[in-house]
Amino acid sequence: MGVKVDAHGPSLGIRAAWENRPVSENKDETNKARASRPNSAAFKEFLSTGWAEPDDVATTLIAAAPYAASRRDRLSAQFPGRRIVVPAGDLKVRANDTDYRFRPLSDFAYLTGLGADYEPGAVLVMEPTDDGHDATLYVVPPAGPGDEGFYADPRAGEFWIGRRPGLAEFAAMTGIATADLADLPKDIRLASHPHKPVSRALSEMRFVKDEYEVQQLRDAVNATIAGFERVVRELPRAVAHKRGERVIEATFDGHAREEGNAVGYETIAASGAHATTLHWIRNTGQVREGDLLLLDAGVEVESLYTADITRTLPIDGTFTEVQRRVYSTVLEAADAAFAVAKPGVRFLDVHEAAMEVIEKRLTEWGIVPEHEDPDAKLFRRWMVHSTSHHLGLDVHDCAEAKRELYMEGLLEPGMVFTIEPGLYFKADDVTVPAELRGIGVRIEDDVLVTSDGVENLSAALPRTPDAVETWMTGLR
Ligand code: GLY
Ligand code: MN
Ligand code: MN
The per-residue DSSP string of 293-335 comes to: EEEEE-EE-TTS-B--EEEEEETTS---HHHHHHHHHHHHHHH
The residue range of the domain holding 197 is 5-205
- What pLDDT score does 191 carry? 60
Nearest ligand 1 atom, CA 268: 1
**Considering every ligand atom, which ligand is closest to the CA of 264?**
1
- Is 105 in the same domain as 186? yes
Compute the distance from residue 203 Cα to the ligand 1 centre, in Å: 18
- What pLDDT score does 17 carry? 44
- What pLDDT score does 392 carry? 98
DSSP 3-state assignment of 26?
coil
- What pLDDT score does 192 carry? 55
User: What are 128's strand-pairing partners?
Assistant: 133
What is the CB < 6 Å shell around ligand 1?
265, 296, 308, 389, 395, 420, 444
Question: Percent of the chain scored above 70 by pLDDT?
Answer: 92
pLDDT mean across residues, the chain: 93
- Is 346 in the same domain as 234? yes
Measured distance CA(232)–CA(150) in Å, rounded: 45
Measured distance CA(382)–CA(422) in Å, rounded: 8
Compute the distance from residue 109 Cα to the ligand 1 centre, in Å: 21
- Is 122 in the same domain as 140? yes
- What pLDDT score does 194 carry? 58
- Is 189 in the same domain as 285? no
- Is 139 in the same domain as 195? yes
- Is 201 in the same domain as 217? no
Measured distance CA(370)–CA(328) in Å, rounded: 24
- Is 342 in the same domain as 448? yes
Distance from chain centroid for Cα 316: 31
C-alpha distances (whole Å) from 196 to each of 42, 84, 187 are 52, 11, 22
Sign of the C-alpha dihedral computed for residues 229, 233, 237 and 238 taken in this order: positive
Where among 205, 221, 250 does a domain terminate? 205
- What pLDDT score does 159 carry? 94
Neighbours of ion ligand 3 (CB under 5 A): 296, 308, 444
Distance from chain centroid for Cα 431: 36
Domains held by the chain: number: 2
Strand 268-271: give its sheet, edge to edge: 268-271, 292-297, 309-314
- The CATH number of the domain where 144 resides is what? 3.40.350
Where among 177, 205, 233 does a domain terminate? 205
Burial track 209-229 (b if 16+ CB lie within 10 A, e otherwise): beebbbebbbbbbbbbbebbb
Residue stretches of the chain with pLDDT short of 70: 1-31, 190-194
Of 228, 253, 266, 268, the residue with max ligand 1 atoms within 8 A of its CB, to mutate for a pocket test, comes to 268
Measured distance CA(269)–CA(283) in Å, rounded: 6
**Considering every ligand atom, which ligand is closest to the CA of 446?**
2
- What is the residue with the minimal CA distance to atom 3 of ligand 1? 308
Supply φ then ψ for residue 16, to 5 degrees: -60, -40
**Considering every ligand atom, which ligand is closest to the CA of 279?**
1
- Is 228 in the same domain as 156? no
User: What are 442's strand-pairing partners?
Assistant: 422
- Is 319 in the same domain as 335? yes
User: What are 117's strand-pairing partners?
Assistant: none
- Is 232 in the same domain as 163? no
Number of helical (H) and strand (E) elements in the chain, helices listed first: 13, 16
- The CATH number of the domain where 349 resides is what? 3.90.230.10
Of the candidates 388, 268, 288, the one whose C-alpha atom is nearest the C-alpha of residue 340 is 388
Measured distance CA(297)–CA(264) in Å, rounded: 8
Which tens digit of pLDDT belongs to each residue from 170-200? 999 999 999 999 999 999 876 655 588 999 9
Compute the distance from residue 256 Cα to the ligand 2 centre, in Å: 17
- Is 336 in the same domain as 361? yes
- What pLDDT score does 15 carry? 40
Burial track 59-69 (b if 16+ CB lie within 10 A, e otherwise): eeebebbebbb
Where among 205, 235, 257 does a domain terminate? 205
- Is 201 in the same domain as 216? no
pTM of the model: 0.93
Within 10 angstroms of residue 101's Cβ, the number of other Cβ atoms is: 10
- What pLDDT score does 117 carry? 80
